[in-house]
Structure 1
């Protein structure tokens, strides 16, 4: 296959999703035709990007496609470019995989919804918008796709219009999200006023020599705009409402795909367009925001009583890991952050789909109304455990390896700089991981184990059409943990090199030698990647994991022989209840960590009070954050 053939694949992958959205609208209520069109669109898009793995990841080629054949004239970009390097393809594949699996899950999941025809129109528009962002080489085109993605996400959040919470969540999403959209637009306008171009490659070549207060403001606006889309602290409250109200298959996209556009934008802005602004100051801000997002959101998750809201806060906590690792500004940190981006998409997508399966079977995700579902939904329970082990960083699942890379990157940064602050980052990462495990122990006990409620007797595993996407995600969670070297060699390292070395990207779009002519320095940031501490043998960890599980199973089975005496019903000891019969009580896992929450009661009480749920308050949070970011940039980056 020649370059002249596969150079068209990226734009076809984007347009296939938008054309699919149009065709789905035309077929109306014809369910079979609608499902075929939507399924074909997502599979074609995924296949086209998969065919680019060898030329881009393995061979190191960069694809530059000019819409309408409007190529640069005399060193000036006048057309819209679709440009694919290893970083773009990395995020593009993440998007395509999540969109495809969630789409097939949705066929059965939303079958009973009245407005399911419009669902796939908005769904494919959201997928196309995200795909357009990560594959575009034009700053304004990224903003346009950002708006397409946002409005599609708002519509999907409010999809179940009969639910007042859905309408309210969509409104908050639209209003607070407009802060990010407006910031991104103003930042784009300032960059265009300075550079007189919107092409990313050309901007990155000429901007380093034109840094001034206007460009500092542009950086702050773009950073805040993309940060809002990633739901980093303090933009996180709208994510919890959106996840709780949206269909679970949409939550997969919001968590695993929507937030990644913010991460991608931050990488392009910080490491690509404004890389000479002062990486030290930038990394301090990014690490701080990441650590706060990690800790605040994991503690908020531990305090939740709704399955999907708990997952929503964990989603932002995991984004905090990614932002922190990116802020470390080392090759190992970048690689760890990108690896965790893959893992987050997989295990969080799996967990949201299991939450959707619980809702599908029981009609609720409220922890106090659930329990004992492992007896009725054994397959869903196994899938949940895979996702829970992965997000908690338990080997041999994928979360362990990416978190280990982040731990090591922060530890090495502390050793390199002699700063106790980076040592504290390592501690925060580990504590967050422990609290994450605690949260999922709570969920597991509340939803799948413990006592089975009488009203859940008829619950059962979801249909096969919903289970297959979950099994695929579960398999990927295990495979990306068992074979990390394959992921590193063929995906993570090429994407990491694309972050550090911008010269090939610039020359691919603007012509050979353009970077050398305009850049102050063409020397890439080079750092050693393979400096891992300790040994990682995935097969050994898998065997150890199996042995531990077998031991637990053996102990639990052997204990059923019955040493001791089973407790008798409370009613037989009526004297302790004043002669009245005492009913059996359901022991909920909602307060499983009451001791911890009691110790942290002042902090948790404060966080509960400030998370008022009022849109105006969250707008104030967003505006304050924007002002703080601008002030920080002017104080430390000029």
Structure 2
């Protein structure tokens, strides 16, 4: 990797961050002014504002990513005085620009999809106003250099996301999902605010660079508690365990374009916050306790959410749980504390936005055409929607980690980085993390085999005899994402050199971030560590020996689960036919709350020949019925339970931070 020369940049480029954010908020204001009429003008405003924001971010890539500059813009011209920041600043280093690119690209693509998808909905002016406000808050969050300004953007993001989740108020579960999102999401927002208050009381500043300068020397139980509050707050925005049920409730009922933003962008803002906390502000990811804890949180989120997805029968709820499972991969890699692990996590974060966006748009196309997302009521749509089917297959192959798509390349980097960390540290926890990640990948593939069979294969139901594929206007955004799935999968080395290595180097170089604000030499005077050394490890995803190693590991992991699942746990249930199995499973789950959250069903009914979502892999689920029964009780659908889980997570992190930091 080329040697980076970090510093500030002037000229017109210095104003690009604020222009990119203002473009989206101004578009929201103009859209509201247009009102209900003039649909063409309203779409033009949305198109131009989102495109301008994307172009401005792309124009910042050469100076920031290639040349190593850090763009600093001070609101109102309030520049720092000495080593004190007295104003709110925007800072675009390679890390924040990487996430800004994810935000603007996803917002532009989802906007294109929204034009035909939302054409028949009422109150489009409200939808697009909220949409652009959400987009502006997301971009403002990743470009902000002030912690309180980040909190303001989080509040705008949360409220607009809640409103857009409930946008189709007549849709079953829309209001319920929005209320759950608002109530439990407020725990995360409140945690961020409390963390901010503690930091301000201790250090009297909220500028990120100044916090990074002073926090290493201000270690105390109070700052450790602030870390715990902020970590839980950002983790809740990424929907990490135990906040993951919120994602399913919000994704399943929101319009498909909003599901794409929640899954592909809002979760990444949470990831961005965690990286800033651990690598730049506290600079504590090198601590074994922090690294192990963060990696384990990611691995647990990855495994639990993929098992929940495996048992869903609503298309978008299944995709929602998969979203958090993939974010678990990202956090597990980021938590390793290695340069290569950070690259792997960033690569998978970008890839997740691409392939999960494609899958949510494909699910929206199916819902738009068939009027349902119930996997047990669909089937045979490959003949009716062949183009959408092809696009879905690309996304499914990518998320399942099949070559030559992007999910394979980034997952391979994650496996390799975890294995290297285990070998380097000698910590068996990382071997466990590797096994959980591999098992999750196997279950992801099985889950999408189930979706493909339930939605696109088998006999076509009579009610879909006249069904037609969606319009070309809805397919164009999906083709953009599908093309990116292939390109980034075939050329991972180019992606690494252009985007990943600079972003990882920026995350591991808090000194450059500090010097860009307060002047060169400031970080050295405070003994802030120098930039992390770039890894020269090759991805090696096409080496035959690596394939053999992966095959052996996956085989051992699957055998372990099969042996564990085959052990008798308590009373066994004997069933000779489908009806007896159905009655037995009903007895197992008798008295459980809210049946719509049921995650386990019996075998197929005798009157149907199509293998639906309830039936495929029934034997595997039956073998692990004790686990799935427990998980169904845990995912009760009760907002009070989810609130308790969030508070328990906060209590755990507080205890961990005070004891270990």
Aligned residue among 255, 271, 275 for 2:283: 275
CA distance in 2, matches of 1:250, 1:487: 27
Measure, in 2, the Cα distance between the counterparts of 1:392 and 1:100.
25
**Aligned residue in 2 for 1:47:** 55
Of 522, 543, 549, 2:529 maps to 522
Q: Which moved more, 1:138-147 or 1:501-510?
A: 501-510
SS at match of 1:345: helix
Q: Contact 1:211–1:277 at 8 Å: present in 2 too? A: no
1:536 positional shift: 5.6
In the alignment, structure 1 segments of 5+ residues that lack a partner are 541-581
Aligned twin of 2:477: 469
Counterpart position of 1:221 = 229
2:217 and 2:608 mapped to 1: Cα distance?
74
Which digits, 9 at most, give the CA deviation of each residue in 1:81-103, with x for residues without a partner? 10000000000000000000001
Q: Given the alignment, which residue of 298, 304, 307 partners 1:290?
A: 298
Q: Which residue does 1:109 correspond to in 2?
A: 117
Cα distance in 2, alignment partners of residues 521 and 32 from structure 1: 53
Q: Which moved more, 1:232-241 or 1:420-429?
A: 420-429
Aligned to 1:338: 346
Q: Tell me, what secondary structure is at the counterpart of 2:69?
A: coil
SS of 2:388's partner is helix
- SS across alignment from 1:588: coil
Q: Which residue of 1 aligns with 2:456?
A: 448
Which deviations, in whole Å up to 9, do the C-alpha atoms of 1:530-588 show, x marking residues without a partner? Answer: 24456469xx9xxxxxxxxxxxxxxxxxxxxxxxxxxxxxxxxxxxxxxxxx9663332
CA contact (8 A) 2:285 2:335 kept: no
1:589 CA displacement: 4.0
Q: Which string of whole-angstrom CA distances, capped at 9 and with x for unpartnered residues, describes residues 472-491 of structure 1?
A: 00000000001111100010
Work out whether residues 263 and 357 of structure 2, in 8 Å CA contact, stay in contact via their aligned partners in 1: yes
Residues 305-320 of structure 1 mapped to structure 2, 5 A cutoff: 305-320=313-328
The Cα offsets for residues 146-172 of structure 1, whole Å up to 9 and x where unpaired, read as 100110000000001123510110000
Matched, 1:598 2:606: no
Tell me, yes or no, if structure 1 residue 634 matches structure 2 residue 641: no
What is the CA RMSD across the aligned residues, in angstroms? Answer: 1.5
Contact in 2 for aligned 1:451/1:587 (Cα 8 Å): no
Shift of 1:75: 2.0
Aligned with 1:4 (options 7, 11, 24)? 11
Give, in angstroms, the shift of residue 501 of structure 1: 1.1
Deviation of 1:521 (Å): 3.6
For each residue in 1:436-459, what CA deviation from the matched residue of structure 2 results, as whole angstroms up to 9, or x when unmatched? 000000000000111111111122
Q: CA deviation at 1:516?
A: 1.5
Pick one of 76, 85, 93 that aligns with 1:77: 85
Structure 2 Cα separation of the partners of residues 195 and 364 of structure 1? 53
Distance 1:232 1:584 in 2: 38
Aligned length: 592
* Cα offset, 1:327, TM superposition: 0.8
Q: Note if contact 1:157-1:169 (Cα within 8 Å) is conserved in structure 2.
A: yes
8 A contact 2:409–2:541 mirrored in 1: no
The equivalences for 1:10-159 within 5 A come to 10-29=17-36, 30-159=38-167
The answer as to whether partners of 2:505 and 2:534 remain within 8 angstroms in 1 is no
Conserved? CA contact 1:115–1:159, under 8 Å:
no
Tell me the CA shift for residue 192 of structure 1.
1.3
**CA distance in 1 between partners of 2:367 and 2:613 (Å):** 18
Q: CA deviation at 1:323?
A: 0.5
Q: Distance in 2 between the 1:138 and 1:536 partners?
A: 45
Task: State the partner residue of 2:585.
Answer: none
Map 1:492-511; keep pairs closer than 5 Å.
492-511=500-519
Aligned to 1:329: 337
Q: How does 1:496-575 map to 2 (within 5 A)?
A: 496-518=504-526, 520-533=527-540, 535=542
User: Contact 1:371–1:449 at 8 Å: present in 2 too?
Assistant: yes
Given the superposition, is the C-alpha separation of residues 277 and 291 from structure 1 closer, same or farther in structure 2, using an over 3 Å criterion? closer
Is 1:625 matched up with 2:638?
A: no
- Taking a change above 3 Å as real, the CA distance of residues 276 and 376 of structure 1, as seen in their structure-2 partners, is closer
**Which residue among 198, 208, 213 is the counterpart of 1:205?**
213
Residue 196 of structure 1, CA deviation: 1.2
Deviations 1:497-525 (A, max 9, x none): 0011111111111112211222x343333
Q: Out of 635, 639, 644, which is 1:611 matched to?
A: 635
Q: Distance in 2 between matches of 1:286 and 1:63?
A: 30
CA shift for structure 1 position 74: 2.2
What's the offset of the Cα at 1:115?
2.1
Deviations 1:178-199 (A, max 9, x none): 0000000110111111111111
Question: 1:415 offset after TM fit, Å?
Answer: 0.8
Give the match for residue 610 of structure 2: 586
Is residue 2:512 matched to residue 1:488?
Answer: no
Distance change (3 Å), C-alpha of 1:628 and 1:584: closer
Kept in 2, the 8 Å contact 1:77–1:199? The answer is: yes
Give runs of aligned pairs for residues 163-178 of structure 1, distance below 5 A. Answer: 163-178=171-186
- Secondary structure of 2:11's counterpart equals helix
| Alpha-carbon distance in 1 for matches of 2:519, 2:217 | 20
Q: Secondary structure at the match of 1:65?
A: strand
Cα contact 1:331–1:529 (8 A) shared by 2: no
- The answer to whether the 8 Å contact 2:279/2:285 transfers is no
State how far apart, in whole Å, the 2-side matches of 1:441 and 1:163 are: 28
Whether the 8 Å CA contact 1:292–1:320 is kept in 2: the answer is: yes
What's the secondary structure of 1:111's corresponding residue? Answer: coil
2:57/2:100 contact within 8 Å kept: yes
Kindly indicate whether residue 273 of structure 2 is the aligned counterpart of residue 249 of structure 1.
no
How far did 1:397 drift?
0.1
- Provide the rounded CA distance (Å) in 1 between the counterparts of 2:539 and 2:641: 44
Q: Deviations over 1:316-366 (max 9, x none)?
A: 000000000011111111000000001000000000000000000000010
Question: In the alignment, is residue 382 of structure 1 matched against residue 406 of structure 2?
Answer: no
The answer to whether the Cα contact below 8 Å between 1:330 and 1:527 also exists between their aligned partners in 2 is no
Partner-residue secondary structure (3-state), 1:368 = coil
Q: TM-score, normalised by structure 1?
A: 0.91
Distance of 2:657 and 2:21 partners within structure 1 = 35
